[in-house]
Amino acid sequence: MAEPVYNVLFLCTGNTARSILAEGILRKDGAGRFRAFSAGSQPKGKVNPFALKVLEAYGYPAQGYRSKNWDEFTGPGAPQMDFIFTVCDSAAGEACPVWPGHPATAHWGIEDPAAVEGSDMEKERAFVQAFKYLHNRIELFLNLPLDRLDAAALHRRLGEIGRTEGATSARLDVA
């Protein structure tokens, strides 16, 4: 029997940096097992060029991303999500849409690299750090025995991943 392919949505307010990095990482590292998407509650309409530069520098595709509203994933014809992860604290605190299918959710907040001021080198360094934190979390997620975890254990493990190095808040999860 073929293993299921899971849909994963990464949410952030602007959908320009962290959620794009996470989408890119999972798109490549989870290929065949996961389909990765990203969106924002208040998308800025364009992807931060440092996110694309860092993805490319680490050997991940840097094409095909766009900043989009999370409403694209709530209507008819939208892929049904199995997992939804917020990667910024503001998105985790917002009233999220009702997601069809009751996906597993967790908060994996990290600092916003797009908020860093300074030279291009300092900005790029912040994006590299965000990439590394997200890469580590996604690697942990990819190694979960999804077919052997009940809902409570899965919820606990996803929350633990969100509290790994680089976590911005003590928030355990999102509803």
Give me the active site residues, please.
12, 88, 96
CA 147 → CA 7, 27, 79, 98, 144, distances in Å? 15, 20, 21, 25, 9
Angle formed by the axes of helices 18-29 and 49-57, nearest 10°: 30
Q: Which residue's structure tokens are 């490319």?
A: 56
Give first-to-last CA distance, the chain, whole Å. 32
Sheet holding 34-40, edge to edge: 34-40, 6-12, 83-86, 104-107
Q: Around Cβ 121, how many Cβ atoms within 10 Å?
A: 8
**Cα torsion through 135, 140, 142, 146, rounded to 10:** -150
Residue 119 has phi, psi (to 5 degrees) of: -75, 165
